[in-house]
Structure 1
Amino acid sequence: MRLPNSAGLLAVSRLLATFLTLLTAPIVARSVGPEGRGAVSAALAAFALVPIVLAFGMPLNLRRLSLRESSDGYVRAARDITLTLFIPAVGIGYALGVTLFNSLDVFVQAVAVVGIASSPLTVSWMNDQSVLIAHRKFRCVAAIQLMQPLIYVVSIIFFWSFGRLNVGIVLVCYIAGSVATFAFASWCVPVSVRGHRSSRRDFLRGSGSFVGGAVAEAASNRLDQLLVLPLLGLYQAGLYSLAVTFSSLPMSFAHAVGAHYFSRYSEEENDQDSLVSESIRVILYLSFFVAGLLSLLCIVLVPFIFGRDFVPALPSIWISQAGSVLMCTSYVVSMVLVSRGSGRALTAAQISAVVASTSALLLIAPWKGAVGASLASSSGYLVLLVIVLYLAKVRMRDLFLRKEDVMRAVRIIKR
Structure 2
Amino acid sequence: MSAKRQRRAVRAMPAGPAGPPGRTGVLSGNMSIALIGNAFPPLVALFSGPILAQALGVQGRGEVAAATAPLALVVTLATFGIPEAVTWAVARAPHLARNAARRGLLLLTLAGLIAMAAVFASSSWLSGGSPVVAQLILVASLAIVPNLLVGVLRGVASATQSWRLVATERIVTSSLRLLVLIPFWLTGTLTPLVATLTVAVMPVCGAFVYIGRMRSLAPRATEVPRMARTSGLLGYGVRVWVGSLSGMLLSRIDQVLMTPLADTYQLGLYVVAVSVSELPLIINQAVRDVTFVTDAAESVDERLSASARISTFLCGLAGLALGVSMLWWLPFLFGEGFVDSLPVAAVLLAAVVLGTPGSIGGSGLSARGRPGLRSLSLTIACLVNIGLLVLLAPVLGAMGAALATLVGNLLSSNLNLYFLARSFGINPLTFYGLRRSDLATLGRFARRYTDKLARRIR
TM-score (norm 1): 0.92
Contact 2:86 2:152 in 1 (8 A): yes
> Partner amino acid for 1:9?
I
Question: Higher mean Cα deviation, 258-267 or 227-236?
Answer: 258-267
Q: In the alignment, what sits opposite 2:103?
A: 77
Gaps of 5+ in 1: none
Q: In the alignment, what sits opposite 2:439?
A: 406
Contact 2:392 2:401 in 1 (8 A): yes
Closer, same or farther: CA 268–356 of 1 in aligned 2, 3 Å: same
Contact 1:322 1:378 in 2 (8 A): yes
Closer, same or farther: CA 5–274 of 1 in aligned 2, 3 Å: closer
Distance, in Å, in 2 between the alignment partners of 1:55 and 1:77 is 13
- Displacement of 1:46: 1.4
Asked if 1:322 is matched to 2:350, the reply is yes
SS at match of 2:262: helix
- Choose which of 356, 379, 394 in structure 2 pairs with 1:366: 394
1:153-168 paired onto structure 2 within 5 Å: 153-168=178-193
- Displacement of 1:412: 5.9
Q: In the alignment, what sits opposite 1:145?
A: 170
Q: Give RMSD over aligned pairs.
A: 2.2
Contact 2:139 2:197 in 1 (8 A): no
Distance, in Å, in 2 between the alignment partners of 1:214 and 1:158 is 36
Asked if 1:130 is matched to 2:132, the reply is no
Aligned length: 409
Q: In the alignment, what sits opposite 1:59?
A: 83
Contact 2:66 2:137 in 1 (8 A): no
- Choose which of 240, 252, 271 in structure 2 pairs with 1:222: 252
Q: In the alignment, what sits opposite 2:454?
A: none
1:244-283 paired onto structure 2 within 5 Å: 244-269=274-299, 272-283=300-311
Closer, same or farther: CA 80–372 of 1 in aligned 2, 3 Å: same
- Displacement of 1:186: 4.3
Asked if 1:309 is matched to 2:342, the reply is no
1:5-404 paired onto structure 2 within 5 Å: 6-67=30-91, 68-70=93-95, 71-101=97-127, 103-106=129-132, 108-190=133-215, 195=220, 198-269=228-299, 272-393=300-421, 394-398=426-430, 399-404=432-437
SS at match of 2:408: helix
Cα offsets for 1:302-334 (capped at 9, x unmatched): 111011100111110111110011333332111
Closer, same or farther: CA 112–192 of 1 in aligned 2, 3 Å: farther
SS at match of 2:126: coil
Contact 2:40 2:171 in 1 (8 A): yes
> Partner amino acid for 1:123?
L
Contact 2:124 2:131 in 1 (8 A): no
Distance, in Å, in 1 between the alignment partners of 2:129 and 2:442 is 46
Contact 1:92 1:117 in 2 (8 A): no
Closer, same or farther: CA 15–299 of 1 in aligned 2, 3 Å: same
Question: Higher mean Cα deviation, 210-219 or 175-184?
Answer: 175-184
Contact 2:377 2:416 in 1 (8 A): yes
Contact 1:89 1:117 in 2 (8 A): no
Distance, in Å, in 2 between the alignment partners of 1:396 and 1:33 is 45
Question: Higher mean Cα deviation, 36-45 or 375-384?
Answer: 36-45
Cα offsets for 1:181-211 (capped at 9, x unmatched): 2333344433789955853233222312211
> Partner amino acid for 1:229?
T
SS at match of 2:189: coil
Contact 1:30 1:306 in 2 (8 A): yes
Distance, in Å, in 2 between the alignment partners of 1:307 and 1:159 is 19
- Displacement of 1:180: 1.0
> Partner amino acid for 1:327?
G
SS at match of 1:56: coil
Cα offsets for 1:29-75 (capped at 9, x unmatched): 01111122222222222121101111001111111111113121001
- Displacement of 1:266: 4.0
SS at match of 1:55: coil
Distance, in Å, in 1 between the alignment partners of 2:428 and 2:244 is 26
Contact 1:250 1:328 in 2 (8 A): no
Distance, in Å, in 2 between the alignment partners of 1:72 and 1:350 is 31
Distance, in Å, in 1 between the alignment partners of 2:319 and 2:411 is 19
- Kindly, what percent of the aligned residue pairs are identical? 24
Contact 2:127 2:259 in 1 (8 A): no
Contact 1:132 1:140 in 2 (8 A): yes
Question: Higher mean Cα deviation, 135-144 or 39-48?
Answer: 39-48
- Displacement of 1:88: 0.7
Cα offsets for 1:113-160 (capped at 9, x unmatched): 132232121111112212211211111010111222112111111211
Contact 1:75 1:191 in 2 (8 A): no
Contact 1:14 1:252 in 2 (8 A): yes
> Partner amino acid for 2:263?
G
- Displacement of 1:411: 5.6
> Partner amino acid for 2:99?
G
SS at match of 2:352: helix
Distance, in Å, in 1 between the alignment partners of 2:288 and 2:87 is 12
Contact 1:54 1:120 in 2 (8 A): no
Closer, same or farther: CA 87–259 of 1 in aligned 2, 3 Å: closer
- Displacement of 1:268: 4.1
